[in-house]
Structure 1
């Protein structure tokens, strides 16, 4: 599908330009009735007004894939319309719309999972340029190859002799584009004649050794004096290894850069279900138990293997209840904030306004199953993950452990959301983001 007719791209461009998006019952975009807006359950098309006026069938499949199946445009637009509501309200709205669609025989709306919805909305808002759930447009790879070929041709043209001219560079561009295919060599070990013709016009570029050679020999003996303090022998060492071990300057210079540990902020509220005393057993062990309010721990560590960031070694997370000891750069390492919805928790935060805070950091609310989250949590919208665990029953009561198997499911949901947020913010195997 062409880029100017792709439903996802049209929706993102319309959102960025605040262009009107109108559910209609006609594919005609010229008549006055085309601009008549109807409920989403009755619409057959979605009309975009920017960057071009076009109507797309509302059940058209998009490049957003959920469970290996493309999600239709109606479901994508429904998720965008309900981006600010919490998960329970979103599920209820989806169920209501499905009832209306069933009465009209117009299909169903796909209920996106929290992580999928968060990733989609982040992409539609323009906060991210990539999404693991969105397939690239047809021809993107070809376009990238052509763009790369154009750059190679420009380089070849620039390094050719002065008599080659613009026409020669253009000719080389077409030649490179035509040869950048798997069959670019006519035989094993044989260079394609067209590439050979291009390479013959290149000017040879020297490496650092040829550049340093110059027109006359250069005396580098003075470097020995500069290196002497680093290479001096210590009385306690007799070999090269001992010299390095006993020389603090060399030890510092050879120490590899270490990726900093991500930080998770817990709520200091006494009503919070997750505190320092029970966070480790819950987040690492997958089992919830009530917090011990007599605990005085101020910091703890939990480990978790984030397969999509570093599949070879677990990441260590630092858990604290407040940012009192934070340096300014520590905020770039915060990956999640557990909250009960009480605004006083954010008083000393870098972003004291909850709406601004959760634009930068993932929020997590942990409550009891069957109870509605507080109104403040629902007001924070989709940027706060609302999770629920089974009510705690004393271990001495028969059957009390039968309901605890769901705890691990909740923990996995929390970690999955944290991992998606970390990838979006720029966490990598060997690096952390410099700003969030």
Structure 2
């Protein structure tokens, strides 16, 4: 069998060119009937085009990276992830390496290497500086370059072999001679005289789109993104009047998206409302106790239509239990603070004094119906809204559902107070207040 028919890179390239869905199948056996398996479990790669053949997936290929050949699994994995960015590709390779558990390692290609490999595999380029030629191609090339008569001798040998086997010699069969793809077409019937092959090899190649636009070695401009990041993050603060007065900005400026309002919950273990049960209460209108096993939650998103602010679309609220990740401008988006009255909750707040805090932000306390709120909550006066829910009883216990219908009433009162406070602070359909 021709060594080129067993070459993993050529088999992979021909199978991709065939555009057949099942042309490349990872399997756990060399058996032609073996089913497809996950790439981490595969031991072979079965090619069905041009002829059915199974190649061990850890076979070393002719693609050289950092002076070492790259295995077939890494080549096929890079082709599967050809459309993702480098960070996502590296993350996927790390995940696959974890699944392989040390039995093998997927090679992570550099940006230029991966682009060169994918360009060659999809047929957009006929050459690659990272792919070594086949041994038969090197022998033919060295025979042609050895002496003036050597090329003719080598060409005659190739032509004689083709005539004896009744198989036409095409440009694919003389790939080591670097014959242009159009050479066989110009020969008329698919056969090519070796002397013509040598002449065609001296022609100037027509460049493809990759070499014309990017050159022989594509340039990586990813570093420009880091340089542009500080400029992209700075938004104009001159207001709408500056945009209207400047015709260039008026045409090109995109409308800024309204930021999401923020609600701060109490991180206290005694708080009746935590991240684990806030969605069921504030969105679903039913109180359930906090789930201690969900303590890993750090952020929560809920939606609510504020009819007096934007009746056409619901607003998304961000719920967090602490301001550790806050930027200074985030405090202008805080619309409510749920508290248990413990002063340590406000230690890292912009206004650590509760009296100052609740002059800027609506305070909300939730307790059990029938219990008295803490003395600190009563000391805050009208600046903190007190709400009470029915005491929780385990489902199935007598009276478990008694009074649970009042949960929705409590929730509606809370949202009504939040909406009224937002409207007073300057929240509108498309804008948020610049200060509170």
| Bucket of the pairwise TM-score, normalised by the shorter protein | 0.3 to 0.5
TM-score, normalized by length of structure 1? 0.42
Provide TM-score, normalisation by structure 2: 0.42
Higher RCO (CA < 8 A, seq sep 6+): 1
